[in-house]
Structure 1
Amino acid sequence: MNTVNTPTASARSVAAVNTKIMRRLMPLLMLVYVISFLDRTNISMAKDRLEADLGLSAAAYGLGAGLFFLAYAALEIPSNMIMHKVGARAWIFRIMITWGVISGCMALVNNEASFYILRILLGAAEAGLFPGVMLYLTYWFGRDMRARANGYFLVGACIASIIGGPLGGVLLQLDGMGGLHGWQWMFIIEAIPAVLLSPVILLMLPNKPQNAKWLTAEEATEITERLAREEAESLAASGTRSFMGIFKDRTVMFAIFINLAHQISLYSVTYFLPSIIAKASETAMATWLIGSLAAIPWFFGALGALFITPQATKTPNRTKRAVTVGLLAMTVGTVVGVIGGPVLGMVGFALAGLFWFVVQPIMFSVPGNRLGGLTLATGLALMNTVGITGGFFGPTVMGFAESATGNPLAGLWFAVVLLLAAVAASFFLQFDPAKKPGKN
């Protein structure tokens, strides 16, 4: 009887510890990402005002929006290597305090050059946050929970976009107060939470299970030993033990490409949707209403992360199917968004948004299930380095396409083509850790 019951008791113990970790870590990490994503994307609400007040063209706006991601991408791998050595607590604190200060300095933008420079500095300051947290979660959760934990963290982006649009719209109405433009007030006020939260991270975020006062010594040991066993099994199956070896692992490389297509699609919509809504309206709309409508895809994104991702990751076959279906839904939704007009188009963007954070957290669980140690840290950073360049290419193509055609939706066809390629790539993914890389 004891032999039969032991696995069940052990599974219940692991589930209880996972629940404890979720409750202790995820609210704080989600809050970090809410603030990060808000400061990263709030320029979407200021696009039309920056064009009117500073004379920025759509192409210049798109380029400036994208330069953030080039700087971010260039520094991700060294950032994750540093975090692997010094620990998450000190490094995330450093990231937050510097990005908060620079984000507030966006209020000083007065021409194209200063816009470009500050966006580059903001990207450099924030570099490593997302892959750093993806790495950090591998210190706490096994392979069966990583995609779900990643998805919960990504809900922070949804929350930021749901509240960011209406909040940005309200702050834009402060135009003229104290001699500042509304968009200047928006950058200043929305930068403050990052600065205030940074010391909280320094005080409350444990580096690893052994440092968590809210875990017992037995729980911390069990987590460490269980994850060490899983890592050994993953490395034995994949054979990927070095940075160069990552490029030979077909599943990891396909996951990196899919994440790139995903990011191009997501950021193309994110940075231009408020402007698209404003231009589609036959009458002038209040900025808070534009922001609220722009938040609709993100509301559905949160639903997908919270309710679809946990169900989609229960078995390897279900996980693979969820990626393919999710990418198809994103493709169809984006096409409908382009050709469907104001109402049906928004339905299309909502459909795409529903699967944004089903596909992405699964992709970021792939390296954690196949790599280990410093190779895992660099592998996650590589995935996000390539993916985050989508935040450059997407808005840049959108901006140039709008300037060339006068149609703010024209650039989304670029995202559609890449999403179709990602659908094809999804058939070659391998989620069974027992199989060697390159075999399906």
Structure 2
Amino acid sequence: MTIDVLADRKNLPREPRELNRLMFVKLMPLLIIAYILSFLDRTNIALAKHQLDIDLGISAAAYGLGAGLFFLTYALSEVPSNLIMHKVGARFWIARIMVTWGLISAAMAFVQGETSFYVLRLLLGIAEAGLFPGVMLYLTYWFNREQRARATGYFLLGVCFANIIGGPVGAALMRMDGMLGWHGWQWMFLLEGLPAVAFAWVVWRKLPDRPSKAPWLSAEEARGIEQRIAAEAEEGAGAGGHSIKQCLTPQILLAIFVYFCHQITIYTVIFFLPSIIGRYGDMSTMSVGLLTSLPWIAAALGAVLLPRFATTPKRARSLLITGLLTMALGLAIASVSGPVFSLLGFCLSAVMFFVVQSIIFLYPASRLKGVALAGGLGFVNACGLLGGFVGPSVMGLIEMSTGDAMNGLKVIALVLVVAAVAALRLRQGQESKREHGSVVQQARSST
């Protein structure tokens, strides 16, 4: 009889907290590693810039154009990629994304000049498109709003880790220069591209499309998760949430604006922080690389520790606004201080980089569902990526016209303050319904 009781207890559904912990353990390591590989392959051309000029005659202007072409095709392909993933499933589509971007990134080793450089950067943007919004969509299949910001924060650790390890790993691979008659940059592209292809097999084997496909969940547990997610989506999106036109509503456009301002900051720091630190004094390349990693360590800590507090719409909005203002304050400190306090300012700003990003995607996810959710998340990310064009371009123009990159940081700090003011108007789907219901009730009471 004791054995029967133990067997019954073993078959009981797990508590929600235990299920959430299990889903984090089973899903997030796979997604984080995929994003690390993605960012390494996206940004490793920065290390090869000088050698591409020497070995192939690819000028600074041609390099800049090639770097930007990636974002162009990436942004244009975001929505179609997400719509396809919604139809064919996350496991197949994320694995496909990894195989194609890995092969194309490895093929950068065979660049012969400007034309082949441009073509491969365009193809890399198409191949990699859909990973980030695809994962944002995928997380809506598993986690409710209370847990989704935390899950997104963990996923964004991939950017932090890639920026921390990318420089040392790339530099080590570049030292293989001359081996088997290849240049160091060729080895770097090849050996950083192929791991994505290999890891795609792991994703194919281990990443379930939905809770109902997870072998580590019972049928009852999977059904309960999917029913809770569906009920939450219905409450937030309402009857109109299926329409693709919902992607152009004022609230979605407001979320896009805030995200655009955020992305201006992220890509400005990615592309300009090493050169700013290099001006602090006479330092080696390794010293600059180590100091550059400090803000990204701060960003990783923020991504792990803070998004978990965005458990209600009110808390999420408060954390979003606080994050934007903290980013602005950090950049303002960096723009007017000496080396030590300037670096501390960058670290302060970086703490909130991925706290803000993890929360922004709660807003479209709370108002859309089905095909509209898939397309909407891709649309939000594609528009936000334009900040990758605007931020570095504006920063460069300001530095060229004033002779001081710190003036660009002041402008971006002001942009973040504007974004924080705009974020005051953001509402998640269920909030708007409650506010509308409250207004109607007050009107009825007054009559």
| Distance apart, 1:19 and its partner CA | 1.1
Aligned equivalent of 2:430, options 424, 430, 433? 433
Matched, 1:161 2:160: no
| Distance apart, 1:410 and its partner CA | 5.5
Deviations 1:264-323 (A, max 9, x none): 110111123223333x1543513x333222221111111111111112x02322211111
Unaligned 5+ segments in structure 2 are: 1-11, 440-447
| Distance apart, 1:259 and its partner CA | 0.8
Give runs of aligned pairs for residues 243-322 of structure 1, distance below 5 A.
Answer: 243-248=244-249, 250-278=250-278, 280-286=279-285, 288-311=286-309, 313-322=310-319
72-81 vs 336-345, greater mean Cα deviation: 336-345
Aligned equivalent of 1:355, options 344, 352, 355? 352
| Distance apart, 1:204 and its partner CA | 1.4
Return closer, same or farther for 1:393/1:49 CA change in 2, 3 Å cut-off.
Answer: farther
2:445 aligned residue: none
Could you tell me which amino acid in structure 1 is paired with residue 171 of structure 2? G
Could you tell me which amino acid in structure 2 is paired with residue 247 of structure 1? L
1:119 aligned residue: 121
Residues 209 and 223, structure 1, Cα contact 8 Å, conserved in 2: yes
Could you tell me which amino acid in structure 2 is paired with residue 204 of structure 1? K
1:6 aligned residue: none
Q: Give the whole-Å Cα distance in 2 for the aligned partners of 1:341 and 1:48.
A: 29
Q: Give the whole-Å Cα distance in 2 for the aligned partners of 1:97 and 1:276.
A: 35
1:42 aligned residue: 44
How many pairs were matched up?
426
2:3 aligned residue: none
Could you tell me which amino acid in structure 2 is paired with residue 86 of structure 1? V
Aligned equivalent of 2:25, options 23, 26, 32? 23
Q: Give the whole-Å Cα distance in 1 for the aligned partners of 2:429 and 2:137.
A: 21
34-43 vs 389-398, greater mean Cα deviation: 389-398
Return closer, same or farther for 1:336/1:44 CA change in 2, 3 Å cut-off.
Answer: farther
Could you tell me which amino acid in structure 2 is paired with residue 245 of structure 1? Q
Residues 62 and 395, structure 1, Cα contact 8 Å, conserved in 2: no
Matched, 1:332 2:329: yes
Deviations 1:176-224 (A, max 9, x none): 4444333332222211210111111111111111111110011011011
| Distance apart, 1:436 and its partner CA | 3.8
Residues 30 and 153, structure 1, Cα contact 8 Å, conserved in 2: yes
Aligned equivalent of 1:204, options 200, 203, 206? 206
SS in structure 2 at match of 1:206: coil
SS in structure 1 at match of 2:430: coil
1:5 aligned residue: none
Could you tell me which amino acid in structure 1 is paired with residue 334 of structure 2? G
Aligned equivalent of 1:87, options 78, 86, 89? 89
Unaligned 5+ segments in structure 1 are: 1-9
2:187 aligned residue: 185
Residues 134 and 380, structure 1, Cα contact 8 Å, conserved in 2: yes
Q: Give the whole-Å Cα distance in 1 for the aligned partners of 2:280 and 2:190.
A: 29
Residues 299 and 351, structure 2, Cα contact 8 Å, conserved in 1: yes
Query: Aligned Cα RMSD in Å?
Result: 2.6
58-67 vs 217-226, greater mean Cα deviation: 58-67
Q: Give the whole-Å Cα distance in 2 for the aligned partners of 1:62 and 1:416.
A: 25
| Distance apart, 1:414 and its partner CA | 5.0
2:150 aligned residue: 148
SS in structure 2 at match of 1:174: coil
Residues 264 and 390, structure 1, Cα contact 8 Å, conserved in 2: yes
Could you tell me which amino acid in structure 2 is paired with residue 283 of structure 1? D
> Which of structures 1 and 2 has the larger relative contact order (alpha carbons within 8 angstroms, sep 6+)?
1
Q: Give the whole-Å Cα distance in 1 for the aligned partners of 2:66 and 2:332.
A: 26
Q: Give the whole-Å Cα distance in 1 for the aligned partners of 2:367 and 2:408.
A: 35
The two structures have a TM-score, normalised by structure 1, of: 0.89
Return closer, same or farther for 1:128/1:171 CA change in 2, 3 Å cut-off.
Answer: same
Could you tell me which amino acid in structure 1 is paired with residue 123 of structure 2? L
Residues 66 and 121, structure 2, Cα contact 8 Å, conserved in 1: yes
Return closer, same or farther for 1:321/1:57 CA change in 2, 3 Å cut-off.
Answer: farther
1:65 aligned residue: 67
Could you tell me which amino acid in structure 2 is paired with residue 15 of structure 1? R
SS in structure 2 at match of 1:214: coil
Deviations 1:23-64 (A, max 9, x none): 101111111111111111222333444455555555544433
Q: Give the whole-Å Cα distance in 2 for the aligned partners of 1:217 and 1:111.
A: 55
Residues 88 and 207, structure 1, Cα contact 8 Å, conserved in 2: yes
Could you tell me which amino acid in structure 1 is paired with residue 220 of structure 2? E
Residues 169 and 289, structure 1, Cα contact 8 Å, conserved in 2: no
Q: Give the whole-Å Cα distance in 2 for the aligned partners of 1:418 and 1:66.
A: 22
Q: Give the whole-Å Cα distance in 2 for the aligned partners of 1:223 and 1:344.
A: 47
Could you tell me which amino acid in structure 2 is paired with residue 222 of structure 1? G
SS in structure 1 at match of 2:347: helix
SS in structure 1 at match of 2:311: coil
Could you tell me which amino acid in structure 2 is paired with residue 126 of structure 1? E
| Distance apart, 1:167 and its partner CA | 1.5
Q: Give the whole-Å Cα distance in 2 for the aligned partners of 1:103 and 1:341.
A: 39
Q: Give the whole-Å Cα distance in 2 for the aligned partners of 1:174 and 1:335.
A: 41
Aligned equivalent of 1:346, options 343, 347, 359? 343
The two structures have a TM-score, normalised by structure 2, of: 0.88
Could you tell me which amino acid in structure 2 is paired with residue 146 of structure 1? R
Could you tell me which amino acid in structure 2 is paired with residue 285 of structure 1? S
Q: Give the whole-Å Cα distance in 2 for the aligned partners of 1:49 and 1:438.
A: 59
Residues 302 and 354, structure 1, Cα contact 8 Å, conserved in 2: yes
Deviations 1:54-112 (A, max 9, x none): 55555544433222111111011110110000001111111001100111122334544
Q: Give the whole-Å Cα distance in 2 for the aligned partners of 1:395 and 1:341.
A: 22
Return closer, same or farther for 1:215/1:246 CA change in 2, 3 Å cut-off.
Answer: same
